[in-house]
């Protein structure tokens, strides 16, 4: 176990140093290295999905303001000026045109009116409540998108770390194979080797070079995906730090995380309470209750009040004598609306029922996600145990095969097989470690406690 831990730590440190050194050589400045926390901050500020969700907040806020405005009076002010360009000079009476004096050419008018809905069957209240629920649902949706994005960033960051360690492992393996080829060729030159061993080792190196190319491509693609998620250009030159990323998992950490997550039943209860999707579903259900109330408002009478002032004259004078003020109250009630209200109520109630079913569906889906996350976590824990034992056995087998091969007691094929098993065991161990870290994040996300 100590050897495994030391191997992984050395690989991670050497990888990080080589990355930083490469960047320094390219730019001559401080290395352009991003930590996971920096990636999370960038994603929250620049991720397209997050920004799209946030853009809907202003519209939801505007709808709340508009709904509140229904409680306030509506005020209109009108003013008008007209001038007669060709006034009549006579009027016709019994076929005779009678001259008249020239009329006033200018005319001015001003009016103001205020209307207030006193009661509309609670439609205003329902609209305002629904707008508030929609605003709250929009905020919750932003939180949901942020949490999903943070999970995606963590997983993609781990993928880059994982593929980089696999690449480092394959580079080290290729280097050792090339040195072994040189040793075989040297033995052949002094008449102690076989040409067949040279051909076999060259073929083995070719296979490892292909594997290294695939690993390098995996690193490039995973890094491109991460940069796109955090809102940066995938062609930018960025490097990732291994700071805060464990390279090995011990039994104490596994037990500690199990204590943190608790039992499956407890985790499901916490998920129902913490998941933003559940909170959104409850908020949307409350909004449908407002729709039902608004649909029933037509069953009640509506009361409106109004008041105004108006003035008109041919000159800007006589405001006191020629103006008038008025107030009024109106009551209206639909005796028969051809069943439109009944239809609206039925539609609103059907939507309310649908939201209840969606809430139940969501509850089941969350329970399934939590259970699946726990199952995946258990499988990842087993993978850690298996790869620990497998790596230890593969290392012992490789050491023994190397010793026998050096003494002439084993063939190049025996040595190659043992080396291949060791490299596979090391890569399996790397995959197991990062797979377990991903499962941890998935469990925390499933129960709504991923920071």
Q: What is the pLDDT at residue 13?
A: 39
Q: What is the pLDDT at residue 27?
A: 37
Residue in this structure with the two tokens 């109630």, named with its chain if needed = 349
Whether residue 77 is predicted with pLDDT greater than 70 in this model: the reply is yes
Mean pLDDT value across the chain? 89
pLDDT, one tens digit per residue, over 213-231 is 999 999 999 999 999 999 9
**More confidently predicted of 371 and 7:** 371
**More confidently predicted of 191 and 326:** 326
Task: Let me know the angle formed at the C-alpha of 362 by 40 and 351, rounded to the nearest 5 degrees.
Answer: 120
Q: What is the pLDDT at residue 237?
A: 87
Q: What's the whole-number mean pLDDT along residues 37-66?
A: 95
pLDDT, one tens digit per residue, over 266-281 is 999 999 999 999 999 9
| Token pair belonging to 281 | 């579903």
Q: What is the pLDDT at residue 180?
A: 87
Burial 293-309 (b: 16+ CB within 10 A, else e): bbbbbbeeebbeeebbe
Residue in this structure with the two tokens 């041919």, named with its chain if needed = 314
Q: Which residues pair with 83 in a beta bridge?
A: 106
Q: What is the pLDDT at residue 17?
A: 37
Whether residue 144 is predicted with pLDDT greater than 80 in this model: the reply is yes
Domains of the chain plus CATH, in order, are 2-77+119-305+337-446 (1.20.1600.10)
Give residue 414's Cα distance to chain centre. Answer: 51
Total number of residues shown for the chain? 451
pLDDT, one tens digit per residue, over 283-331 is 999 999 999 999 999 999 999 999 999 999 999 998 989 999 999 999 9
Q: What is the pLDDT at residue 10?
A: 39
Whether residue 105 is predicted with pLDDT greater than 80 in this model: the reply is yes
Q: What's the whole-number mean pLDDT along residues 200-225?
A: 95
| Token pair belonging to 322 | 């020629």
């Amino acid at each position: 176990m100590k050897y495994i831990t030391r191997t992984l730590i050395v690989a991670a440190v050497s990888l990080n140093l080589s990355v930083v050194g490469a960047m320094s050589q390219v730019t001559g400045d401080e290395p352009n290295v991003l930590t996971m926390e920096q990636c999370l901050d960038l994603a929250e500020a620049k991720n397209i999905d997050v920004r799209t969700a946030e853009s809907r907040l202003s519209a939801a806020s505007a709808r709340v303001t508009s709904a509140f405005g229904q409680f306030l009076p509506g005020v209109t002010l009108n003013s008008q000026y007209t001038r007669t360009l060709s006034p009549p000079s006579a009027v016709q009476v019994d076929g005779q045109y009678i001259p008249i004096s020239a009329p006033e050419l200018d005319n001015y008018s001003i009016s103001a009116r205020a209307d207030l809905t006193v009661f509309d069957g609670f439609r205003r209240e329902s609209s305002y409540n629904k707008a508030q629920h929609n605003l709250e649902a929009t905020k919750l949706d932003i939180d949901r998108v942020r949490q999903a994005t943070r999970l995606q960033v963590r997983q993609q960051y781990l993928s880059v770390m994982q593929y980089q360690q696999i690449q480092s492992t394959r580079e080290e393996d290729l280097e050792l194979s090339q040195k072994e080829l040189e040793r075989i060729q040297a033995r052949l030159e002094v008449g102690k080797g076989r040409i067949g061993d040279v051909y076999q080792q060259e073929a083995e190196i070719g296979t490892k070079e292909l594997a290294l190319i695939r690993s390098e491509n995996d690193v490039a693609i995973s890094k491109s995906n991460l940069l796109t998620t955090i809102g940066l250009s995938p062609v930018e030159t960025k490097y990732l730090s291994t700071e805060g990323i464990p390279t090995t998992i011990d039994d104490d950490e596994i037990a500690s995380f199990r204590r943190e997550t608790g039992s499956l039943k407890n985790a499901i209860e916490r998920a129902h309470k913490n998941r933003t999707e559940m909170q959104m579903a409850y908020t949307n259900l409350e909004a449908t209750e407002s729709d039902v109330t608004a649909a029933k408002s037509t069953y009640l009478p509506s009361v409106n009040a109004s008041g105004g002032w108006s003035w008109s004259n041919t000159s800007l004078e006589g405001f006191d004598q020629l103006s008038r003020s008025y107030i009024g109250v109106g009551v209206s009630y639909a005796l028969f609306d051809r069943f439109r209200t009944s239809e609206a109520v039925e539609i609103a109630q059907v939507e309310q029922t649908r939201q209840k079913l969606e809430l139940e569906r969501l509850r089941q889906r969350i329970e399934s996600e939590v259970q699946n996350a726990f199952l995946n976590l258990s499988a990842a824990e087993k993978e850690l145990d298996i790869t620990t034992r497998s790596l230890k056995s593969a290392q012992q087998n490789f050491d023994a095969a190397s010793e026998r091969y050096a003494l002439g007691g084993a063939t190049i094929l025996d040595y190659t097989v043992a080396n291949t098993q060791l490299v596979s065991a090391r890569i399996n161990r790397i995959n197991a470690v990062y797979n377990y870290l991903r499962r941890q994040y998935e469990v925390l996300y499933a129960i709504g406690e991923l920071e």
